[in-house]
Amino acid sequence: MTDQTKNRPASGSAIACTVEQTLLGEGVRWDTRRDELLRVDILAGHVHRRLAPVRVYTLPGTVGAIAPIEGDEGGSSPPTGGSST
């Protein structure tokens, strides 16, 4: 074990990274261009962006997935048809 790894949890250990609750949270994706975590709550119709603070976009209906697109430079606008909280 090296100095760099001795403080890491054992393989298979889970570490909570949020206290937010979702109805059906899925689709976690890392956006390397913005260094942020994207995920959705399918049933609630929410798109979550891990910023400081976390930004949640509420869409009408359900949401299946989210993915960064080429040419999007990281604006803070909500997805089409949504509102930001």
Q: What's the rounded Cα separation, in Å, for the pair 68 and 79?
A: 11
Cβ neighbour number for residue 82 with a 10 Å cutoff: 17
Burial class (CB in 10 A: 0-12, 13-18, 19+), 81: exposed
The alpha carbon dihedral of 8, 10, 12, 15 has a sign of negative
- Output the pLDDT for position 3: 46
Task: Give a yes or no: residue 50 inside a domain.
Answer: yes
Instruction: Give the distance, in angstroms, between the CA of residue 25 and the centroid of all CA atoms in the same chain.
Output: 10
Q: How many domains does the chain divide into?
A: 1
Task: Give a yes or no: residue 48 inside a domain.
Answer: yes
- Output the pLDDT for position 50: 77
**pLDDT by residue for the chain (85 residues), tens digit each?**
444 556 665 667 777 766 778 889 888 888 888 888 888 899 999 888 876 557 788 888 888 888 777 776 555 555 555 565 5
Query: Whole-model pTM?
Result: 0.55
Full residue range of the structural domain in which residue 26 is found: 20-67
Q: Which residue type, as a one-letter code, is found at position 82?
A: G
Task: Give a yes or no: residue 5 inside a domain.
Answer: no
